[in-house]
Structure 1
């Protein structure tokens, strides 16, 4: 195993480890973090959330296998670019979880009361956690490219985008004008987009 592979695996451990740690901490408080595909939601939302759940479970072993079996040191520029994007993804994701505090959920909460967070990293992105996922997925793809990883990465990113659209509908219903104002001043992914 070379240093590029080792660093990529370490970054993925931090990324996914942070998610699972947050899930466990919220569970101790009686909060069910992962609500993908469960609860009383419309059929489209259930389909999108179940698709995202499946895609996000499949991509993890594909990423690990891609990292472990791509030992090429060629294209060092792409390896380094990929590692930088993975690192940025970890930072965005961890900051998003930290700023969201106990309002953090995966999926649309059927009954939980949450607050609209618009400060911290949420001042620059309405979806910094999804941006963190996307940067991580793109980084792994660039550094350890293979056709299977490409297909799965596109699939999971499309499912995440569809999930964002479903969540936006929900947030407009719950937070009404406050969310509309937030959408006008803050981009879906970054301040410009």
Structure 2
């Protein structure tokens, strides 16, 4: 029961940051949710599918946590809680560091800056890394086949979003500065 409460608290802190930032930006006239807007072809498919899956997955996660009746392996459950907590920390740091440049999806006409210091000096995509770590932690702690399949699909969609939507935009918007950054900082974690 304690593991369920801890994991639900971790999820709540994640979504408080996520939606809190969206509300804060909306008050400033910034439209944070750009998924599927102004896109066509593969980027549109990726972003609309990602939006759908990341809207449905939290419901499946909460259901999996609340109604989990398996015999959890204490080490895996504890490791999952630590990984999920780390994911929330990474995500929150990335959102704070991006300030008003943070968006869900790419807004091609927005005036943004290339953030490359702080947490962005060890990950080009710490927000995605944070999502993935939280989702992995929940999966490890409250494993079931449906949650595993949905989590795997979201991991693939996040990767496709980065490779086929975000990175091409950043190359176009920031040119050589982004290429230099890409050469030194790895996509998810680490420096070259």
Q: Deviations over 1:50-103 (max 9, x none)?
A: 011011011010000000011445310011000000000000000000000000
Match of 1:127 among 125, 128, 152: 125
Give me the TM-score of the superposition, normalised by structure 2. Answer: 0.97
Give me the TM-score of the superposition, normalised by structure 1. Answer: 0.96
Q: What are the within-5 Å matches in structure 2 for residues 83-94 of structure 1?
A: 83-94=81-92
Q: Deviations over 1:136-159 (max 9, x none)?
A: 010000000000000100011110
CA contact (8 A) 2:170 2:178 kept: yes
2 CA distance for matches of 1:55 and 1:137? 12
2 CA distance for matches of 1:114 and 1:27? 16
1 CA distance for matches of 2:116 and 2:141? 33
Which residue does 1:183 correspond to in 2? Answer: 182
CA contact (8 A) 1:5 1:71 kept: no
Which residue does 2:27 correspond to in 1? Answer: 28
2 CA distance for matches of 1:159 and 1:74? 28
Aligned residue pairs, count = 191
Match of 1:137 among 121, 135, 153: 135
Q: Deviations over 1:111-161 (max 9, x none)?
A: 111110001100000000000000001000000000000010001111000
2 CA distance for matches of 1:66 and 1:20? 22
The change in CA–CA distance for 1:192 and 1:118 in structure 2 (over 3 A counts) is: closer
1 CA distance for matches of 2:150 and 2:99? 30
**Unaligned residue ranges in structure 1 (runs of 5+):** none
Q: Which runs of 4+ in 1 moved over 4 A?
A: none
2 CA distance for matches of 1:42 and 1:167? 14
Shift of 1:44: 1.3
1 CA distance for matches of 2:129 and 2:72? 28
Which residue does 1:103 correspond to in 2? Answer: 101
Which residue does 2:54 correspond to in 1? Answer: 56
